[in-house]
A = this chain, B = another copy of it.
């Protein structure tokens, strides 16, 4: 009862917490191609929404829009050409491998931040010791 089948641009935008112009911008960049109403307004399906979510997810990992386009494909690219499919295929393979590497990096990042946290905590304790020493 909750999920609709179609969305206007502002419905979609607010549900993804981005602005309508960002969505239009992605369309200009050929990342999505929504259907239109008789009056030329954009209508988005759940599929379009999923695609947008994918784009945003890619972004959160520091991929550029061009890279994202290479990963998920420009919307209008001939997806019936064997060569194009093979190209995309090898691209996704590369990216899946990259995701594996990113996971390792993520672990390192977490380690770094935990180390920093410990360091800060120690510094704080030191300062509190100093305070005790000098005040009373």
- Chain A contact-residue range equals 35 or more
Cβ of A3 to closest chain B Cβ, rounded Å? 18
Is B99 a contact of A113 with CB atoms below 8 Å? yes
Provide the residues of chain B in CB contact with A92, threshold 8 Å.
Answer: 113, 116-117, 120
Q: How far is the CA of A110 from the CA of B114 in the complex (A)?
A: 26
Which 6 pairs, one residue from A and one from B, show the smallest C-beta to C-beta distance?
A62-B62, A92-B117, A99-B110, A89-B120, A60-B62, A85-B124
- Asked if A102 is at the interface of the complex by the 8 Å CB criterion, the answer is yes
Chain A 61-117 residues near chain B, CB threshold 8 A: 61-62, 71-72, 79-80, 82, 85-86, 88-89, 92-93, 95-96, 99-100, 102-103, 105-106, 108-110, 112-114, 116-117
